[in-house]
Amino acid sequence: MIMNELIKNFEPISLEEMNGIRLMNRMDTKFVTTRRKLEQLLVMAQQDYRIQEINGERNMEYDTTYFDTSQFDMYYDHQHGRTNRQKMRFRTYVSSNLQFLEVKTKNNHGRTRKQRIAVTDMNLCDTRKTDFLQEHLHQDVNTLLPALNNHFSRLTLVNSAKTERLTIDTNLQFLNLVSGEQRQMGNLVIIELKRDGLCFSPVIDMLLDLHIHPHGFSKYCMGSALTNNMLKVNRLKPKLVDIHKIVSQAV
């Protein structure tokens, strides 16, 4: 309830205004924290940020299904830090019922590029989808299988200069489509700063003041590691320990 009250204090920004801030080729920095610290951050950010609002709604539901090969090549590429690594997913914006097929590529300069097309289902027999994947994805389309579903709520803040987006994800839950295991992430909050290059960001000092530091968190890779004990997690162990500490705290 506290967070719902806090987000009412932000000036809104419409979806039409957001269209000029898509940042499809961007630098991403992720942070993980707790709900308590998020509440403090929202108080601090009210003067410098506006909040995305669509049809009166500010805390949007997202549903995402990730695909991978049967050998989990995309999972292991990420875990091993390989350059030009990719993720492939279907993302649904629940409130608007819009769905996209997306391919995200992170290059050796740390920049993330996202290509996407609007779709109405996850059927990979569709020629339009396979053509898109053959153009943008390094993996063979015929080897892809659904691997992980996640669901979360997202706030999107935009700075006054409209040079960045700050997404804040809560209520994160995973369903592994291979093992069948589910996981509720409770107290965990994932913050992602998305900007073109290293332009000035008002939130950086706020995060430092709250002792919230950069911390990589791939929803696909961390969710898979938490819900499929057949996967190797060696390089993710320090992050998994950090996440366990946050999740185990009282909300």
Contact 90, 99 (CB under 8 A): yes
Residue 25: per-residue pLDDT: 55
Residue 84: per-residue pLDDT: 87
Q: Which residues contact 155 (CB under 8 A, 6 or more apart)?
A: 7, 51, 52, 58, 59, 60, 167, 168, 170
In this prediction the pTM is 0.91
Single-letter residue type at 31:
F
- C-alpha separations of 229 from 81, 176, 179, 185, 222 in Å: 21, 11, 8, 17, 12
Task: Compute the distance between CA of residue 28 and CA of residue 167 in angstroms, rounded to an integer.
Answer: 11
Domains, in order of start, for the chain: 2-247 (3.20.100.30)
Q: Render each residue's pLDDT in the chain as its tens digit; 251 residues.
A: 688 899 999 999 988 888 766 655 567 889 999 999 999 999 999 999 999 998 899 999 999 999 999 999 999 999 888 888 999 999 999 988 899 999 999 887 777 888 999 999 999 999 999 999 999 999 999 999 999 999 999 999 999 888 888 999 999 999 999 999 999 999 999 999 988 766 788 999 999 999 999 888 999 999 999 999 999 998 899 999 989 888 887 65
Residue 50: per-residue pLDDT: 96
Residue 19: per-residue pLDDT: 73
Please measure the distance between the N-terminal and C-terminal CA atoms of the chain and give it in whole angstroms. 12
